[in-house]
Chains A and B, each alone.
Chain A
């Protein structure tokens, strides 16, 4: 059983269970699934300054912080008890492309060659880790949600603004991955 669980889980197992998070949160406490809001709550609780956007009763939304701390714990549990002993298998075309940028280490979920403490001070590592993170935080709040809030919760509730947001997430991702990222990884 444990051996079975250690393998990567297929999409048709993972996807439907991720979808069940939507009714689980609604039934447990009338909460709409959404993760990027946690970043706003962290700002509101730690550095609200005099910014109206961060002045609200974030304690009412504390469930969201418990939820993301749970995701962190889940990461710990998966890594300790259910770690996949094999490197991640990717499409050979991707492996070829990445090898051209010197990315050959598939032992972690993130590419250790460009995303590590050592790589943080290189131009491409800095862009992936720091600039990328900034764009994720800025963009999700500007869009009013991320993959969970818009693409899963919003689409589940047939919200057309969420469909527009999801299409824009994908356009942004395609443009970055195919047109801009090759230049960044070549730095």
Chain B
């Protein structure tokens, strides 16, 4: 018998963070710039939800609005910070020496380790929507590292594609794997967790997906644990989902 929780899109934490102008220490950019953040787990001012799931501590569905909208350069330690760009263009700059523009389908993993800084900027008029995922590392104070990857939806359609972590193109220092299921038609997909000690967090980016018997709509999610197999079924209109498997 598996265990689970369901989180509907509207039940997530919601914050609208306004730019405080060109000298901002947090959100900056054009005076009309703002970030909307829907949090699946407790983060920042949202503290009435779940604390996390397995090694996940942050799962933020964020949109950067208006040109120059940014998190200004700020420090991190230890967390493995990942971004999956869904629309628009994201400029990511960090102190391991990377200055990247990421488009829809691109993603990165920045392991802050012993210390690093980064800034996240949308320099364009089109809003930028990304999922920000933070995970605890398996060791403290690792050497900081950064890697990026690309999910090719067309080439990877209608199957579960590992993006980063165990068994994926981008390794991370944690017993976790992030995969994406981009389905263009009705289909049945079975995910088998590596062990009963691993849980799965399934987040629907778009479309509708039945996850272990629960119909999930756009931006709904479900966490499952103590399961040997998890059935994901997409309808004729397709579905797009991120799957985070994590040791519990």
Q: Is the pairing of A and B real?
A: no
